[in-house]
Amino acid sequence: MEAIARTEKRPLWSRILRRIVILVAMGIALTQVARLWNYFNTGADQSEILFRTIEQIKRSPSVVEWADTQPEGAFFDNYSRDLIGERYGEAWQAWNNSLDMHRTEFLRDYFVDSLVIRLSDIDRGLQVRRVVLRHHLVPVLFSVDKQVIVFRDEGLDIRREIWRDGILMAEDREQCDFLVVMALTEGRWLVQHMKKLDDTFVPSAKPDDWEGAVPVWSGSDDEQLEVVLDAFSIGVNYYPRYSPWTLFWDQYSADTTLRDMELVHNLGFRAVRFFIPYYDSRDPVLAEKMADKIFSFLSIGHDAGLYMMPTLFDFPASYEITDFPAFNHYLQSVMEIIEAFRHVVIVDLKNEPDLDVSVYGNEKVERWIDFIVEQARVQFPEVPLTIGWSDPSVAHHFAGRLDAVSFHFYGDADQFDAKLSDLRTKLDEDTRIVLSEYGRSTFDPLWFPIGHSAQDQLTYVASIFESSRAAGIGTFVWCLYDYAVMPDEVFGWKPWIRGPQSRFGLVDQYGIMKPAARLFVD
């Protein structure tokens, strides 16, 4: 009776509050149980892993090319070249896969039993991640019945990481040749013998050693490069108003681009920096669609009389060595389109890689940059390159291997000169510098205490722009538009991040120019 009396004595608000607390607690508990349930019920099963592995082997991105020579024996026709080359590339992928994943069952599809036994003898305590980008095959002998082939795989460049218990034990590059015998066995080309002819191991070098290792671009369009990088060059970063970031290429519209490039031109800009996110270029359908869109964008920019600065590898999937062939494939696919446009004055290979260091580690990021720069240099020696660092204090990295140093600045305007001077001290005197992003958001609601007005934006942009002109460097303001749509996968749900990011534009989401836009018109 006493308890009942106590309950009855409690005020109404207390009882309601108590029930709300109980309901919220139950809701949280249920959510956590559901997450736990979900955690244990997601992930790949055996068949899915198997299927993925087969897919990975089949979609081997290694480039296999045959020397244009005829071997002893039968005529080596194109059909046989493609068929055998494809099987050989897949064989390597299966082998690499077995070293990494310790799954050796796929080796039987590509190697004869004696080799399978040998290749299956792996140290399961080690995880060897190995990639080969290119196989240059020289046919030696093709039997007259077209059932046996002997060829050399020359100049193999194998990159290797050796891990034990999650620790990177060793990392190196090997350059070697292989002698290979393959035979058509039960309808499939199988590797019968492989003999390593000669090899040289190159231990991984530190970034400092890399500088100057590859000759710096000295193309015929040096003048054009100067134009876009000099003090009178004025550029703008671009995403369409209603489809920024990840939505850009999905919802690409040539009409929108046409209007926007006209606006960019009318605002007085001479160059546009835009982004081409990483995509799986091995998917032929996707690759063709993207190629069409990139071609369209560059063509429209060209017709509008604008210089272009494409930024590649936005939102990459990883920095893992095993993905290097896929990255190389993407690089080739995109650069082959870009290369044709002479108004593309410089290619930004990566946007703000220094921000990824905290997630992936310094070594992985630097190794990735080293790889991409080298591949771009070797395959497209005439295309000028840069990397867009988020902070001028790290922008000197790889400077010796790039055609220009590019950095972003969103700090206090009065610190800009000091930061730039500091950067200059780390660079050679004649190093070209470009400020590829700077700007200020006009997000200024009542609840956001650190917002800025459109006038603040004008002051900031004018200050940085004038300092840059005085310092003789080119600039790309961030950015053309305010955005009405902000992709969740890029900015999450937090309004204090989404809001400011959506209001950096010189033109607001209704198409009205902010004061800072006039700066460039004049």
Partner 1 sequence: MRSTVEYMIATILMILCVACGGDYQSEAPTVSSDSPEGFIRLVDTIFRVGEPVHVGLQGAGCLLVTSSWHERFLCPEGDQRASFQLPETFNQTAGKLHLALYEGGRLLDRRIIAVVAGQPYRKLAGYLGPKTISVDRGEIAQLIAIPTDRYYNLCEDSTMIEVTQVSLESSQNTSYLSTESGVAYAYFEPMTRAGEVRIGAKTGTAAMRSKTLLYTPGIPGRIRVYKAEGQTFTGEQRETTVVTEPMTDRFGNRVTDGLHMDFVVTGARGGTSIIQATTANGVASAVIPNPDLGGEITVLARVPGGTTSNTLAINFLPEITDFIVSLDPGNEWLKIGPVVNTLRSLVADGTEVELAFTIDGEKRVRKFELINGMLDLFLASIPGLYENGGCDVTISSITKEIRWKQ
Nearer to partner 1, 202 or 470 (CB): 202
Nearest residue (CB) to partner 1, 167 versus 359: 167
**Residue among 162 and 258 whose Cβ is closer to partner 1:** 162
* Gap between the Cα atoms of 30 and 22, Å rounded: 12
In whole angstroms, how close is the CB of 181 to partner 1 at the nearest point? Answer: 6
Return d(Cα 269, Cα 357) in angstroms, integer.
33
What is the spatial distance between Cα 372 and Cα 349, in angstroms, rounded to a whole number?
8
- What does the alpha-carbon distance between residue 290 and residue 304 come to, in Å, rounded to a whole number? 21
Q: Of the two residues 52 and 195, which places its CB atom closer to partner 1 in the complex?
A: 195
Q: Which is nearer to partner 1, 50 or 176 (CB)?
A: 176
CB atoms within 10 A of CB 196: 12
Q: Least distance from C-beta 401 to partner 1, angstroms?
A: 23
Task: Give buried/exposed letters for 152-190 (b at 16+ CB in 10 A, else e).
Answer: bbbebbbbbbbbeeeeeeebeebebbbebbbbbeeeebb
Asked if 301 and 308 count as a contact pair (C-beta separation under 8 A), the reply is: yes
Give whichever of 116 and 345 is closer to partner 1, judged by the CB atom.
116
* Smaller CB separation from partner 1, 115 or 225: 115
Nearest approach, Cβ of residue 148 and partner 1 (Å): 5
Residues 182 and 152: beta-carbon distance below 8 Å: no
Pairwise CA distance, residues 90 & 53, whole Å = 11
CB of 138 to partner 1, least distance (A): 10
SS3 141: strand
Closest approach, Cβ 387 to partner 1, in A, equals 26
DSSP secondary structure code for residue 512 in this structure: P
Please report how close the Cβ of residue 86 comes to partner 1 at its closest, in angstroms: 22
**Torsion angle, CA of 98/102/107/109, rounded to 10 degrees?**
-100
Q: Which residues bind partner 1 (CB under 8 A)?
A: 72-73, 99, 114-115, 118-119, 121-123, 125-126, 128, 140-141, 143-145, 147-148, 150, 152, 162, 164, 167-172, 179, 181, 183, 192-196, 199, 201, 203
Give me the least distance between CB of 398 and partner 1, in Å please: 22
**3-class secondary structure for 97-132?**
HHHHHCCCHHHHHCECHHHHHHHHCCCCCEEEEEEE
Distance CA(375)–CA(133), nearest Å, equals 10
Of 162 and 231, the one with the shorter C-beta distance to partner 1 is 162
CB of 404 to partner 1, least distance (A): 33
- AA identity, residue 416: F
